[in-house]
């Protein structure tokens, strides 16, 4: 199975989880309907200064991103969800939304026109949707940006808009002239705001999924790592140089190979994106060694992968070490090939001490076994 198939597979699983969540949420919503809660309810609006409160978005589902935009006259506001559904409050006008459209990419930001008689929505690929008197000045697809977009910036004095990417890149359209702060920092820009001709960038680490272990946890963890590496490796160029790996376990014995398998816990066919190793000499908490010289990109406690170390090796190449008993490196640390990065364990969704080892190229998994044999 190649990486492309794996990506399709994970999006199917993601869709299934999303539908399950919607179903679960509907049940929860019915249960809590009789007990109005306040600030802990996602979609609750609070205001200060002259701005009044015109209502909340009580029906929004907690895992969903949403964005609030004040009408320029201060008499109302809009709340947009990542599905492009817009709720109107106060005297802010209703100029349509994307409720009827199935979006390929989530909406990540909303901006009002100077008149307040329209607005723009921007999707994570930099695609622009216009409503009311909002004009189309151009969009990011085709502009060769190598990162997801996270915000649209508008100004009450300027016609146009600027799109901010997770790297801090700023693309100006119309009369906007804002300066970017493009950087290869591991931490992506999560939010941005502009005034006085400048931009504030807030860098925020994306957090992995938490909660109880289910059959979907593995694919979700895998997708998290894919997205993490997409950002971390944005300044690297692809290389086909997949040689020079060292086995991460001394005296290694394969207990589960890369590919589709009947999952030992979930008893259903699931894609196995790595190779499982134990020690042939039956040492169950032996050292785990870096398979290649590189830098620590992440150390996480993931739901299914357990304690996990991710190493970046340049050229969009990464290795992943999961189910560790402990980790002995920190993010940003340089590691040499063969260096101890932790000990073998059984954390996460695991039936016994072993190492789940992955080799990822451009975020996507490759079969490690033939690469370790060279
Ligand atoms: Zn495994």
Q: What CA–CA distances, in Å, run from 53 to 31, 56, 69? A: 26, 8, 13
Instruction: Quote the tokens at residue 24.
Output: 């679960």
Q: How far is the CA of 106 from the centre of ligand 1 (A)?
A: 31
- Domain 217-372 falls in which CATH fold? Glucose Permease (Domain IIA) (2.70.70)
pLDDT on residue 195: 83
Q: How far is the CA of 202 from the centre of ligand 1 (A)?
A: 36
Per-residue confidence band for 156, with pLDDT thresholds at 50, 70 and 90: confident
Q: How far is the CA of 272 from the centre of ligand 1 (A)?
A: 6
Q: How far is the CA of 258 from the centre of ligand 1 (A)?
A: 8
Q: What CA–CA distances, in Å, run from 148 to 33, 73, 86, 140, 167? A: 36, 31, 22, 10, 8
Q: Please give the mean pLDDT across all residues of the chain.
A: 85
* 259, 272 contact by CB (below 8 A): yes
Task: Give tens-digit pLDDT for 306-343.
Answer: 999 999 999 999 999 999 999 999 999 999 999 999 99
pLDDT on residue 137: 96
Q: At residue 13, does pLDDT exceed 50?
A: no
pLDDT on residue 28: 35
Least confident of 11-15, 140-144, 247-251, 285-289: 11-15
Q: Would the pTM count as exceeding 0.85? A: no
Q: How far is the CA of 237 from the centre of ligand 1 (A)?
A: 28
Q: How far is the CA of 259 from the centre of ligand 1 (A)?
A: 10
The DSSP call for residue 105 is S
Q: How far is the CA of 307 from the centre of ligand 1 (A)?
A: 13
Q: How far is the CA of 365 from the centre of ligand 1 (A)?
A: 12
Least confident of 25-29, 262-266, 310-314, 329-333: 25-29
Per-residue confidence band for 84, with pLDDT thresholds at 50, 70 and 90: very high
Cα–Cα nearest to 213, from 300, 304, 302:
304
Q: At residue 166, does pLDDT exceed 70?
A: yes
Q: How far is the CA of 346 from the centre of ligand 1 (A)?
A: 11
Q: At residue 11, does pLDDT exceed 60?
A: no
Measured between alpha carbons, how far is 237 from 146 in angstroms, rounded to an integer? 11
Strands 76-81 and 66-70: antiparallel
- Domain 65-203 falls in which CATH fold? Methylamine Dehydrogenase; Chain H (2.130.10)
Q: How far is the CA of 276 from the centre of ligand 1 (A)?
A: 5
CB atoms inside a 10 Å sphere around CB 154: 24
Task: Give tens-digit pLDDT for 194-241.
Answer: 987 899 999 887 778 788 888 889 999 999 999 889 888 888 888 767
Q: At residue 55, does pLDDT exceed 70?
A: yes
Measured between alpha carbons, how far is 288 from 136 in angstroms, rounded to an integer? 54
Measured between alpha carbons, how far is 311 from 374 in angstroms, rounded to an integer? 20
55 vs 366, higher pLDDT: 366
187 vs 142, higher pLDDT: 187
* Segment 147-175 mean pLDDT: 91
Q: How far is the CA of 146 from the centre of ligand 1 (A)?
A: 31
* 109, 150 contact by CB (below 8 A): yes
Q: At residue 60, does pLDDT exceed 90?
A: no
Q: How far is the CA of 167 from the centre of ligand 1 (A)?
A: 32
Q: At residue 26, does pLDDT exceed 60?
A: no
pLDDT on residue 146: 65
Measured between alpha carbons, how far is 346 from 324 in angstroms, rounded to an integer? 6
Q: At residue 270, does pLDDT exceed 80?
A: yes
Measured between alpha carbons, how far is 201 from 180 in angstroms, rounded to an integer? 9
Q: How far is the CA of 304 from the centre of ligand 1 (A)?
A: 10
| Domain locations along the chain | 65-203, 217-372
Q: How far is the CA of 61 from the centre of ligand 1 (A)?
A: 33
Task: Give tens-digit pLDDT for 106-138.
Answer: 999 999 999 999 999 999 999 999 999 999 999
Q: Which residues surround ligand 1, an ion (CB under 5 A)?
A: 276, 356
Per-residue confidence band for 59, with pLDDT thresholds at 50, 70 and 90: low
Q: How far is the CA of 127 from the centre of ligand 1 (A)?
A: 37
């Amino acid at each position: 199975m190649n990486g492309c198939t794996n990506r399709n597979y994970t999006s199917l699983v993601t869709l299934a989880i999303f539908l399950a969540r919607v179903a679960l949420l509907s049940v929860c919503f019915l249960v809590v309907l009789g007990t109005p809660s306040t600030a802990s309810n996602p979609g609750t609006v609070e205001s200060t200064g002259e701005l009044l409160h015109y209502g909340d978005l009580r029906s929004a589902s907690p895992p969903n991103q949403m964005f609030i935009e004040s009408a320029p006259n201060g008499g109302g506001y809009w709340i947009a969800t990542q599905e492009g559904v817009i709720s109107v409050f106060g005297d802010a006008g209703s100029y349509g939304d994307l409720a009827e459209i199935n979006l390929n990419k989530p909406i990540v930001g909303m901006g009002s026109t100077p008149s307040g008689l329209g607005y723009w929505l921007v999707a994570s690929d930099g695609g622009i949707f216009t409503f009311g008197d909002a004009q189309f000045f151009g969009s990011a697809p085709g502009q060769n940006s190598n990162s997801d977009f996270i915000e649209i910036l508008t100004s009450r004095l300027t016609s146009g808009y600027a799109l901010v990417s997770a790297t801090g890149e700023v693309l100006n359209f119309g009369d906007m002239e804002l300066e970017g702060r493009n950087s290869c920092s591991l931490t992506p820009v999560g939010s941005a705001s502009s005034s006085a001709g400048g931009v504030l960038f807030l860098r925020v680490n994306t957090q992995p999924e938490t909660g109880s272990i289910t059959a979907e946890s593995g694919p979700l963890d895998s997708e998290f790592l894919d997205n993490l590496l997409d950002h971390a490796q944005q300044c690297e160029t692809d290389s086909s140089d997949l040689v020079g790996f060292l086995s991460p376990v001394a005296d290694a014995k394969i207990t589960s190979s890369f590919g589709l398998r009947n999952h030992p816990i979930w008893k259903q066919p699931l894609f196995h994106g790595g190779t499982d190793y134990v020690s042939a000499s039956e040492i169950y908490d032996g050292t785990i060694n870096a398979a290649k010289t590189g830098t620590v990109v992440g150390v996480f406690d993931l739901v299914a992968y357990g304690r996990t170390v991710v190493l970046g090796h340049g050229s969009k190449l990464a290795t992943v070490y999961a189910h560790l008993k402990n980790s002995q490196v920190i993010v940003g640390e340089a590691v040499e090939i063969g260096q101890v990065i932790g000990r073998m364990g059984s954390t996460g969704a695991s039936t016994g001490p072993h190492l789940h080892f992955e080799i990822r190229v451009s975020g996507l998994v490759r079969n490690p076994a033939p690469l370790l044999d060279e």
